[in-house]
């Protein structure tokens, strides 16, 4: 099951039945709060709309292609076959995009989008898919799951929720967590955030299955490199306490609305400068802590 695309709170967005879920912490929202509490508020509490970049949409597309690739029989998971999946995956994705997002491609739907723009963008996605094949041979792998939704409750009651790009489990039971990175931001900026996300998943899997994942693997498709890390139980125990502390800090800020800005070079990637006091803006009136769900994560969050 894929993570949902975000629903923007604009009048143009189709009305969706309200899904009442218990508040949970996701790696993206936890990272937001760590980076800047005000950014967390804008995303999780105010739910201000954000327009994705072409790079984010490309990441979503490439994740979808790799998920479809692993749904094929092993012998069919070849480079050419993967490239053939791009156009159908784009058709599916474009149906889910809001008209204003399609403006990135010079139209308001897939029919009237600028074909030259779309073709160039699809070629750039095709390069990332090709880069994936430089890193491993999917015909030799049989993952247990792709786009795996995971959720667990810690002893303290904190609910953790997220989506894992791919889970490999060896016949011996050893677990490898794999995440594809396709973002345009410099790798060094995203690396700490990526490792935070991977440790988050490691904690969830450890608590769900009682096994510490043997390896966390980040596959950087923009530069064709992979980074691996082997967590240990003591580290995950410490990390679990970190997550609990983040959630307590979020709840405390949520009660009062005291979410402070924390400017950094990452502000360059923030969609909300117009509402941020650090950039001369004013946040909207605090709407109160959202019940029940303040931790939703979308496919775009993960397409970095
Ligand atoms: S612009 Fe920077 S300080 Fe302001 S909300 Fe965004 S990340 Fe936080």
The answer to whether residues 1 and 149 touch, using CB atoms and an 8 Å cutoff, is yes
Q: How far is the CA of 72 from the centre of ligand 1 (A)?
A: 42
Residues with CB under 6 A from ligand 1: 36, 38-39, 261-263, 266-267, 270, 272-273, 276, 278-279
Angle of the 54-71 helix axis to the 86-96 helix axis, nearest 10: 120
Higher-pLDDT residue of 216 and 13 is 216
pLDDT on residue 69: 98
Identify the CA nearest to 204 among candidates 40, 34, 59, 24: 24
Å from CA of 50 to ligand 1 middle: 14
Summarised one tens digit per residue, pLDDT across range 144-186 is 999 999 999 998 889 999 999 999 999 999 999 999 999 766 6
Mean pLDDT of the chain: 88
How remote is the CA of residue 77 from the centroid of ligand 1, in Å?
42
Instruction: Average the pLDDT over 203-225 and give the result.
Output: 95
CA–centroid distance, 270 to ligand 1, in Å, is 6
Taking the CA of residue 42 as reference, the ligand 1 atom at the shortest distance is: 5
Domains of the chain: 144-239 (3.90.320.10)
What pLDDT shows up at residue 108? Answer: 78
**145-153 and 159-169 beta bridge pairing:** antiparallel
At 303, the pLDDT band (50, 70, 90 cuts) reads low
pLDDT for the residue 184: 64
CA dihedral 167→168→169→175, nearest 10 degrees, is -70
The average pLDDT across 237-256 equals 94
167 near 176, Cβ under 8 Å?
yes
For every residue of 261-297, which 3-state class applies, written as one string?
A: CCCCHHHHHCCCHHHCHHHCCCCCCCCCCCCCCCCCC
- For a pocket test of ligand 1, which of 273, 274, 275, 284 has the largest count of ligand atoms closer than 8 A to its C-beta? 273
Q: What pLDDT shows up at residue 24?
A: 86
pLDDT tops 50 at residue 15? no
Q: Looking at the CA of residue 35, tell me the nearest atom of ligand 1.
A: 7
Other CB atoms within a 10 A radius of the CB of residue 298 amount to: 20
Give the model's pLDDT for residue 112. 83
- Segment 277-291 mean pLDDT: 92
What pLDDT score was predicted for residue 127? 97
CA of 263 to the centre of ligand 1 (A): 5
Nearest CA to ligand 1 atom 2: 267
**34, 274, 279, 281, best to mutate for ligand 1 pocket (most atoms within 8 Å of CB):** 279
- Cα–Cα distance between 196 and 199 in angstroms, integer? 5
Position in ligand 1 atom list of the atom nearest CA 261? 3
For the residues 270-275, what does the mean pLDDT come to? 97
Write the pLDDT tens digit of every residue in 24-35. 899 999 999 999
pLDDT of residue 286: 95
CA-264 nearest atom, ligand 1: 2
Q: What is the pLDDT of residues 55-91, one digit of tens each?
A: 999 999 999 999 999 999 999 999 999 999 999 999 9
pTM of the model: 0.86
Non-local (6+) Cβ contacts of 193 within 8 A are: 31, 35
Residue 12 predicted with pLDDT over 80: no
């Amino acid at each position: 099951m894929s993570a949902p695309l975000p629903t923007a709170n604009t009048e143009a967005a189709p009305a969706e039945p309200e899904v009442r879920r218990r508040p949970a912490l996701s790696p993206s929202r936890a990272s937001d709060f760590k980076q800047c509490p005000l950014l967390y508020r804008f995303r999780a509490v105010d739910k201000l709309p954000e327009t994705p970049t072409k790079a984010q949409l490309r990441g979503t597309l490439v994740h979808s292609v790799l998920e479809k690739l692993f749904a094929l029989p092993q012998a069919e998971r070849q480079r050419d076959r993967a490239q053939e999946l791009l156009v159908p995956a784009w058709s599916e994705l474009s149906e889910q995009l809001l008209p204003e997002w399609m403006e990135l491609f010079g139209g308001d739907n897939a029919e009237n989008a600028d074909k030259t723009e779309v073709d160039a963008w699809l070629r750039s996605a095709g390069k990332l898919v090709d880069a994936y094949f430089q890193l491993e041979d999917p015909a030799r792998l049989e993952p247990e799951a792709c786009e795996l939704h995971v959720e667990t409750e810690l002893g303290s009651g904190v609910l953790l929720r997220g989506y894992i790009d791919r889970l490999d489990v060896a016949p011996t039971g050893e677990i490898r967590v794999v995440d594809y990175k396709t973002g345009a931001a410099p790798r060094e900026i995203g690396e700490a955030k990526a490792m935070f996300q991977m440790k988050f998943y490691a904690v969830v899997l450890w608590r769900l299955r009682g096994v510490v994942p043997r390896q966390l693997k980040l596959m950087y498709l923009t530069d064709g490199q992979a980074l691996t890390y082997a967590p240990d139980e003591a580290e995950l125990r410490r990390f679990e306490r970190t997550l609990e502390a983040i959630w307590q800090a979020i709840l405390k800020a949520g009660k009062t609305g005291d979410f402070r800005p924390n400017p950094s070079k990452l502000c360059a990637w923030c969609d909300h400068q117009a509402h941020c006091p650090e950039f001369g803006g004013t946040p909207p009136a605090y709407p109160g802590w959202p019940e029940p769900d303040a931790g939703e994560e979308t496919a775009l969050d993960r397409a970095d």
